């Protein structure tokens, strides 16, 4: 579960990561809840999806990876599409909406894990767009606990 940005990772193209950049956080796998992955685990497993080499990966899981993209922006509403993948096939999918004007989610995901990942993706996306813009990240995710 991502909790703060991990900008000093050694990724060739960090913007191509599922959350639009590297993130540190804690494990949510059954029996390992709250444990903190080390730098190598973050870079080789946690930030990529399909973490088959991770010793904590549960055999029974709903998804292998969650992907996001900005599918549109109209009247200060950003639409995010998401896809939860299992065995490289799309499973659950949908759309979320974020209102820039009041910095609130107009349509959010019911699973707090997916919602947190969406917030991290949007934060990464807004940071990339921030150069020369008045838009700011959705919240200070570096201070989440």
pLDDT tens-digit readout, 17-64: 999 999 999 999 999 999 999 999 999 899 988 988 899 999 889 999
Closest CA to 18 of 129, 97, 125, 145: 125
Closest CA to 89 of 117, 61, 113, 65: 65
* pLDDT of 14: 86
pLDDT at 140 over 60: no
- Number of Cβ within a 10 Å radius of residue 41: 18
- The tens digit of pLDDT for each residue in 74-131 reads 989 999 999 999 999 999 999 999 999 999 999 999 999 999 999 999 999 999 888 5
Mapping DSSP to helix (H, G, I), strand (E, B) and coil, where does residue 130 land? coil
pLDDT at 9 over 80: no
Question: Residue 138 — left, alpha, or beta (φ > 0 → left; ψ -120 to 50 → alpha)?
Answer: alpha
The count of structural domains within the chain is 1
Q: What residue numbers bound the domain in which 66 lies?
A: 2-143
Burial class of residue 80, CB neighbours in 10 A (0-12, 13-18, 19+):
buried
pLDDT at 142 over 90: no
* pLDDT of 137: 53
pTM: 0.86
* pLDDT of 141: 47
């Amino acid at each position: 579960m991502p909790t703060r940005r991990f900008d000093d990772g050694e990724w060739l193209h960090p913007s191509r990561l599922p959350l639009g950049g590297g993130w540190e956080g804690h494990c949510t796998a059954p029996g390992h809840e709250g444990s903190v992955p080390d730098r190598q685990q973050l870079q080789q497993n946690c930030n990529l999806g399909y973490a088959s080499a991770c010793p904590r990966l549960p055999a029974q899981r709903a998804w292998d990876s969650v992907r996001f993209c900005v599918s549109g922006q109209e009247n200060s509403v950003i639409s995010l599409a998401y896809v939860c993948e299992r065995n490289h096939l799309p499973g659950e999918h949908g759309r979320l909406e974020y209102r820039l004007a009041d910095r609130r989610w107009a349509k959010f995901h019911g699973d707090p894990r997916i919602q947190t990942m969406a917030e991290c993706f949007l934060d990464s996306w807004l940071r990339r767009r921030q150069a020369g813009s008045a838009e700011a990240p959705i919240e200070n995710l570096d201070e989440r606990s």
